Structure 1
Amino acid sequence: MDNQVHNAIVSFIWGIADDCLRDVYVRGKYRDVILPMTVIRRLDAMLEDTKPAVLEMKEKMDAAGITNQWPALCNAAGQAFCNSSQFLLKDLTSRAKKQTLKVDFEAYLDGFSPNVQEILEKFKFRNQIDTMIDADILGAVIEKFISPTINLSLKPVYTDDTMKTIKLPALDNHGMGTVFEELIRKFNEDNNEEAGEHWTPRDVVDLMADLVVMPIADKLMDATYSCYDGACGTGGMLTVAQDRLLTLAKRRGKNVSIHLFGQELQPETYAICKADMLLKGDGEQAEHIAYGSTLSADGNASRQFDFMLANPPYGKSWKTDAEKMGGKKDILDSRFNTYLDDGTQLSMIPRTSDGQLLFLLNNVAKMKNDTSLGSRIAEVHNGSSIFTGDAGSGESNARRYLIENDLVEAIIALPENMFYNTGIGTYIWVLSNKKEDRRKGKIQLIDATSMKSPLRKNMGKKNCEFTTEIRNEIIRIFLEMEQSEISKIFNNDDFGHWAVTVERPLRLRVYPERKIPSGVLKDVEMAAFAEAINELEPTVTLDDWKAFEKATKLKISLLKKVRPYITDRDSNALPIEGEADVELRDTEIVPFTYDGGVQAFIENEVHPYAPDAYVDEKKTQIGYEISFTKYFYKVSELRPMESIIFDLERLEQETNGMLKDVLGGLK
C-alpha cells in the first residue's frame, strides 16, 4: 500500500476522535470507541458483497430449524466470521431517532459470529453505546466510518461506473493490519502513561525475527512451522515473524505454512490481537490466541513450537499468579522447577516483584526436541535477568539451567531509549536447543548499545532506532560469530561461580571473675556457677574455652547462658573446635575458571591473610551471572599530568587578575 494512502487513512480515522468524541470523552478514552469501530467497519466492508447470500442461508436454516448455524453462515460469507443481522453499517445512518438507532445498532452487533462477539466483549464496546447515544454522537461516528473519502474494503473505489480510474485503492489484509498497528501506536504514544506497554517497536521485532529465522533459513523445508508468543500483546511479533519466515522460504523456493499461537492477559490487548488476525484474514490463527495469564493459566500447556518470540513484562509483580499457583513456596509447575543429576530439586522461581524469567522458562518448556531444527527463541528482557539474584536464588538457578543445558546462543545489549515506555537498557536473549557445532558450549555477547540511529522526533521515550543497515550488521556479527570490541565469545563456564562460605574458628578468652547480671541464672544455677569458679585450679588456661568448660564440670546448658558475659573474642586464644565465629564469616565468589578450583582459591587468596580459615562445604552454592559491564568496560584515558598542571596554572593566573581588579575597585 502506498505510504501516502496509508497515512491518509490513519489521519482520517484519528481525526474522527477529535471531530466526534472531543466533548464527550477524555483524550485517553478515545481508543475505547475508535479501535473497536475500526474493527467493525473493516469486518462490515469485508462482508458487504456476501450479505445477501448470508441472509438467504440464514432464512433456509431458520426454516429447517437448524440451531448451530455459524459454520454455514461463515461459509456463505466466505470468511472466518460473519454477521447474520439484517443490517450493514450504511443501513444504520438513516435511523434518525436515537432510540431506533440504538436498538438497530445493538441488533447489528448481536448479529456477529461468536469470534467477533468475544472481541467486542473484551473491548467492552457495548458499554460505550449508551454514552454515545446520550451525547447523540453514535450516528456521527458511524457516518464518519462509512465516509466515501476513505476505503477500508478489499475492493478499490472508482471515480465512476466505467471502473477505469481508481479513486481510492483497495486495502488488502496486510495494509489493514498496518493501519491498525499505526493507530495503536498513536494511541499508545498519545497516552504517555501507557505508551508502548503492549507494543514493541517494529525495528526491534524485525531484529528478533531475523535472529530466530536467519540461522536456519537454508534448512527450511516444504513444511508447516509454528510460532508462539506467550506475552503476545497485539500480535505484532507473531505477524512479523510469520512474514519473515514466508519471505525467506520463498527466496529459497520453499513452500511453508506458518501457524501462529499466542496468549495475552489484558482484555483490550487480547481483543486487538484477535481482531488484527481477523482483519488480516487469519481466521484460524485468531482461534489460536488464548486469553489469560501464561504463568498461572497456560493456554498452550501441551504444545511445542518451532519459533518463539516475546517481550514479557519486566519489573512487574507476578504475586497474583503465584497465589493462584498455590503460593510461591509451593509452586510445583515443571516449567519452573527441574532436577539436577543427583536428584536435587532446582527451583527457578524468582522473587514475586519480577516474573520476566518465568516467561523465558515457559518458552524453554515448549521447545521441540524431536526435529532437526529444534526450537529457536528470541526474548527481550531488562538487565535483571542477566545478573540479579545471588547464587542459589531462583534467578541464578534459572540462568544455571539455561546455560548448563547449553541453550543460550547469544545475548545482545540494545541501546537505551529503544522502547516507548522505558529508557532503561534491554537485552535480547537468543536460545536454541539444536546449536551448531561451533556454538556448542559457548555464548556470544554482542554490545550493540552504540549501534543506533537518532529519531527526528521522540516517540514516548524512544529516541533512536535500528535502521535496516544497523540490523543487518548485528545479524552479520551474530551469524559470523565475530570477535571484536563489541562481540565476544565465551565458554559457558565463564559465567559460573561457586559462592563459598569462609569460616574462621571462634576464639574466646575467659574472664571468670566477671559478674553475671541478675535474672540470667536461677538461684540454684548461680550457686553452682559460683562454687565451680571458686574451685577452679589456678593452672586452668583461660584462653581455651574447652579447657575451661571441662574444668568447671558444669552442665553445657548453664555454661551456654553465662558465656556471653564472661568471655571476649581474642585472636590469640585457642580455637573452639566445631564453632565458627559469625562475626568473621565471609563469602567468597570463586569462578569456575579459577585454576585449581575452590581449594586453590582458599590457599592462594585467603590463607595468606587468615591461615585458620576454612570452607563450610554444606553452604556452597552454584551461581551464574552475565555482566556486560565486566566484559565490555572501556577504561577512560586519563589526562596527562602536564596538561592538568598547565590548566591549574592558567586558572591561578586568571583568578589573581580578577582579585586585583576587585581590590582595585574598592580603593
Structure 2
Amino acid sequence: MNILQYESKIWATADLLRGSGIKESEWPSYMMPFFALTMIESRLIRMLDSLREEIGEEVFSNLPLEDLRDLIKDLGQGYNVYIFEKNKRLADICKNDKSFEFDFNAYLQGFDGETKDLLGVDASDGEKYLDIRGIINRLEAKNVLMGYTKLWSEIDLKPFNNSEITTLEEHIKRKWADISAETAGEQYTPDDVIALISEIISSKIEESDKLLKIYDCTCGGGNLLFGVEDRINEKFDRLTQTYGQDWNDSLYALAKIESRFRPDSIIEHGNTLVNDRFSNEVFDVVIANPPYGVSWKGYQKHIENDKTERFKFIPQTTDGQLLFMQHLISKLDTTGIGVVVHNGSTLFSGDAGSPESNIRKWMLDSDIVEAVIQLPTDEFFNTGIYTYLWILNKNKDPQRKDKVMLINASEKFKPLKKNKGSKRKEIDKDNRLQIVDTLIKFQSTDSAQVFDKEIFYFNKQAIMLTNVDEYGNSFEAKLKPGKKSEKLKPVRLTNGEHELNEFVISQFDKTKYDSLAEFFEEDIKPFINSLDYKEQQLIITTATEKYWFDAEKETIIKEVDDKRELMGCGKILVKCTLKKASKTQPERIEISVEITPDYQKDYEIIPFQRDETSNKAGIEAFMKRYITKPFVYLENTIGVQLNFNKIFYKPEELREVADILADIDLIDNELKSLEVGLKL
C-alpha cells in the first residue's frame, strides 16, 4: 500500500469545511489537530500490536491491567484509556451519534497528560499548541463536529511505519504552507531538497558505533529533521538521535508527537535565538531552513544581551538568517558538519565592515565553509527565488583547507508535470547524485568552481581626495602652515538675487517675528543654507578684496584692485549661529565666511591578497594606476561577499549579422506576400 493514497482523502475533509463557510486560509488550523489525532491513534495501536507480538499473545492476554499500563508508559509513546483498556478507536465512537459527544470527550480525556497538552484538549484561555478544544467548539457551533470527526476516523495509518507517516505528513504540511501564505521557506522544505541534503550528509559520514546526533534549530513540524534521519537510516546501520526546537505552537506539537515514536528523539518548544533549550549540547550534524526576511526586532534586546557568546556580530533586525547561522555553528561538534538553507541575502548583504560582512568573514576566517550550492528557482512552495545550501564542515580534508567551492546547480532540475504553488521544478535523483558527486570530487567544472577563500575578500580602502582646479592646484597651497582654512571678514555678500550687508544681527522685524530665535530659524538660517557657492554666483566682499568660485575653471578667484588671482580649487562656506546674550553683548546672530580646500572622502574597492605586505602593495599599485588627484589614505576595511552571478555569468551569444539580415529578408518577403493576398 502507498500511504500517499490518503493525501487526497485527508484533503477531502476540507470539502466539509468549505461547505460550512470556513475560509480556505483557516483550513490548516482545523486540519492540524485532527491529523495529529489520527496519527497518534494509529501509532498507539501499532505500538500495542508490536508489544503483543513481542511478549506473545497468551502472556499478553493474561497480563494484569496495571502491568500493561506500566509496560506501555515505559515506552514513552503515549497512552489512551479508550484504546488500551476499552479496545475502542475513533471510528467506533463515531458509530453512535447519540453518545458521540460524551464518548468523544471521554476519548480525548483518556490520553496521557502530555498528549492532552499537545493537542490542547483542556485549553481554555485561547490557543494551546494544536488547540483541538477551540476547533471542536467552532465545529460544534456549525453542527458539523461529528461528520468532520467521522471523516478523519476513516483514515487508517496503522499499517505504515514512522518514515511512511512522516512522508504523508510532509505532503500535508506542504499544502498547509501553500494555502496559509506563510513566509517563504518558513514552514516546509520540499522532499527533493530534503533528499539532496540527506545525500550530502551521507557523503560525509560513515558507519560507526558512535551515536549520530542530528539537530535542527528551527524544526517546524519536523519534516526536514525526521526526513534526513530516515534517509540516513536507509543507508547506514548507525544509531541516530534527533534534536529539534521551534516556537510555532502547532508545528512544535506535531514534531513533538512524531518524536515520541522515534528512539530518544527530543523536541523542545521556544525561540532558539532567545532561549536555546540545548545550551549544553553539541551535535554531529546540524540542518535548518530558518525563516528569511523575518524581523527579529521584537526580541532585539535579548539578542544584544545574550551571554552565550554564540553571536559574534549582530546583523540588521530585518532578517535573522545570519543569527541562526552563527547559532548553528556554535552547536557543531569538533568534527561536525552542517547544511543550512538560506536565500541569497546571506551571500552579499551588507557593505564591508557591516555585521553581515563581518559574519561571512568570521566564517571564512574560521575555515568552516566548505561549499555553497545554488539551487534552481521555483523550488519552494511559497517563493520562486534562488535559494542556497551552505555546507559547513569543521573537519575539512587537508587539501580543502582554506578553500571554498561554489556549485551552480540552478539548471539541475526536472520540470514538474503539475505546479505545486510556486514550486515548478524538482531536483530529481540523477541531478541530486550529480551535485553530490561534484561536491565529493571538489574540482572545478563548468558548473562548479573551487577558490582560495580570499577570492571572496575585498579591500574597501577609504581615502581623502584633495580636489584641484584645471591647472592641478588646490587652495590648500595658499594656506599658512598649520591652518586648515582662511576666515574672511566680509562687508557684503550677494548671490545676484539677495544681498547681505549685516553680519552681526541683533534686531528683527517684530511685526513678523516674536523673537530673534524665530527670525533666525524662519528667515536667516534657511537663506544661508540655500546658498551654493558653485551653482550661484556667490560673491564675498571684504574691505579690500572679492572672492568667488569660477565653476568653469573649478577654482577660487581672488580680486584686488581689478587684478584677479587663481587661488586653486576650494570651498566657500557661509555659516550662521544664534549666540546667547552675555554680560558684554546682546543676543545676536553671527554670520561668518571661510574658504577651505575642497576635500572629498571616497573609497575604492580593491582585490584582496592574503599576505599583508602583498595586499598593501596591491592597494598602492591600484591607487597609482587609477587615482590622479592628491589623496591621503584613511581606514581600510576588509569585506566578504560570495557573488554567484559574477562567477557563473555567461553573456548571451550574439547572432551573426548575416543570419539577422536573412531573417529580416524572410519576414519582409512574408509581409509582401500578405499584401498581395489582401489586394486580391
TM-score band w.r.t. shorter chain:
0.7 to 0.9
The match for 1:258 is: 240
The match for 2:160 is: 171
Deviation at 1:271, TM superposition (A): 1.6
Q: Give the letter for the 2:249 counterpart.
A: P
The match for 1:393 is: 354
CA contact (8 A) 2:186 2:290 kept: no
The TM-score with structure 1 as length reference comes to 0.76
The match for 2:582 is: none
Aligned pair partner of 1:357 in 322, 326, 339: 322
The match for 2:567 is: 543
Aligned pair partner of 1:468 in 423, 426, 429: 429
Which stretch of the first structure deviates more once superposed, 193-202 or 508-517? 508-517
Q: Give the letter for the 2:10 counterpart.
A: I
Q: 1:660 to 1:36 in 2, by over 3 A?
A: closer
CA contact (8 A) 1:198 1:233 kept: yes
CA contact (8 A) 2:186 2:289 kept: no
Q: Deviations over 1:356-413 (max 9, x none)?
A: 11111111011112xxxx1101011111011111001111011000001111100111
Q: 1:523 to 1:417 in 2, by over 3 A?
A: closer
1:132 aligns with 2:139: yes
Deviation at 1:24, TM superposition (A): 5.1
Distance 2:591 2:634 in 1: 26
The match for 2:388 is: 427
- How does 1:217-616 map onto structure 2 within 5 Å? 217=206, 220-250=207-237, 256-278=238-260, 281-282=261-262, 284-285=264-265, 288-325=266-303, 334-337=309-312, 348-369=313-334, 374-505=335-466, 507-508=474-475, 515-516=492-493, 521-522=503-504, 543=567, 562-564=592-594, 567=595, 581-582=599-600, 585-593=601-609, 596-606=614-624, 609-616=627-634
The TM-score with structure 2 as length reference comes to 0.74
1:44 aligns with 2:6: no
Q: 1:606 to 1:112 in 2, by over 3 A?
A: farther
The match for 1:17 is: 14
Q: 1:133 to 1:624 in 2, by over 3 A?
A: same
Secondary structure class of the residue paired with 2:203? helix
CA contact (8 A) 1:414 1:447 kept: yes
Q: Deviations over 1:438-457 (max 9, x none)?
A: 11010011111111111100
Deviation at 1:284, TM superposition (A): 3.4
Higher-strand-fraction structure = 2
Q: Deviations over 1:273-332 (max 9, x none)?
A: 122333xx22631xx212122112222222111001111111121211314435xxx666
Q: Give the letter for the 1:320 counterpart.
A: G
The match for 2:655 is: 639
Q: 1:58 to 1:460 in 2, by over 3 A?
A: farther
Q: 1:654 to 1:247 in 2, by over 3 A?
A: closer
Distance 2:621 2:183 in 1: 55
Distance 2:4 2:368 in 1: 43
Deviation at 1:593, TM superposition (A): 3.4
Q: 1:608 to 1:37 in 2, by over 3 A?
A: closer
The match for 2:157 is: 152
Distance 1:260 1:42 in 2: 19
Deviation at 1:425, TM superposition (A): 0.7
Secondary structure class of the residue paired with 2:388? strand
Secondary structure class of the residue paired with 2:333? coil
Distance 2:673 2:490 in 1: 73
Deviation at 1:74, TM superposition (A): 6.5
Deviation at 1:644, TM superposition (A): 4.2
Secondary structure class of the residue paired with 1:463? strand
Deviation at 1:521, TM superposition (A): 4.3
CA contact (8 A) 1:607 1:613 kept: no
Deviation at 1:416, TM superposition (A): 0.6
Q: Deviations over 1:528-561 (max 9, x none)?
A: x967979x99999873899x99xxxxxxxxxx96
Q: 1:651 to 1:177 in 2, by over 3 A?
A: closer
Q: 1:21 to 1:101 in 2, by over 3 A?
A: farther
Distance 1:190 1:545 in 2: 64
Q: 1:522 to 1:474 in 2, by over 3 A?
A: same
The match for 2:195 is: 206
1:29 aligns with 2:26: yes
Deviation at 1:125, TM superposition (A): 1.0
Deviation at 1:102, TM superposition (A): 3.6
CA contact (8 A) 1:406 1:440 kept: yes
Q: Deviations over 1:30-80 (max 9, x none)?
A: 3333332232233334445589999x999869xxxxxxxxx9657358552
Secondary structure class of the residue paired with 1:186? helix
CA contact (8 A) 2:458 2:605 kept: yes
Deviation at 1:269, TM superposition (A): 1.3
Distance 1:349 1:383 in 2: 18
CA contact (8 A) 2:184 2:291 kept: no
Distance 2:133 2:18 in 1: 16
Q: Give the letter for the 1:203 counterpart.
A: D
The match for 1:64 is: none
Deviation at 1:518, TM superposition (A): 5.1
Identity %: 26
CA contact (8 A) 1:16 1:144 kept: yes
Q: Give the letter for the 2:247 counterpart.
A: L
Secondary structure class of the residue paired with 1:273? helix
The match for 1:164 is: none
Q: 1:661 to 1:29 in 2, by over 3 A?
A: closer
Q: Deviations over 1:618-655 (max 9, x none)?
A: xx211000111111111222223344455567777888
Q: Give the letter for the 1:176 counterpart.
A: I
Q: Give the letter for the 1:639 counterpart.
A: R
Q: 1:366 to 1:45 in 2, by over 3 A?
A: closer
Distance 2:173 2:212 in 1: 28
Q: 1:519 to 1:212 in 2, by over 3 A?
A: farther
Q: Give the letter for the 2:349 counterpart.
A: T
Which stretch of the first structure deviates more once superposed, 388-397 or 36-45? 36-45
Q: Deviations over 1:87-112 (max 9, x none)?
A: 64355336544xx6444433332332
Q: Give the letter for the 1:258 counterpart.
A: T
Secondary structure class of the residue paired with 2:642? coil
Distance 1:590 1:275 in 2: 54
The match for 2:511 is: none
CA contact (8 A) 1:80 1:283 kept: no
CA contact (8 A) 1:590 1:597 kept: no
Number of corresponding residues? 571
CA contact (8 A) 2:490 2:542 kept: no
Deviation at 1:213, TM superposition (A): 2.7
CA contact (8 A) 1:123 1:268 kept: yes
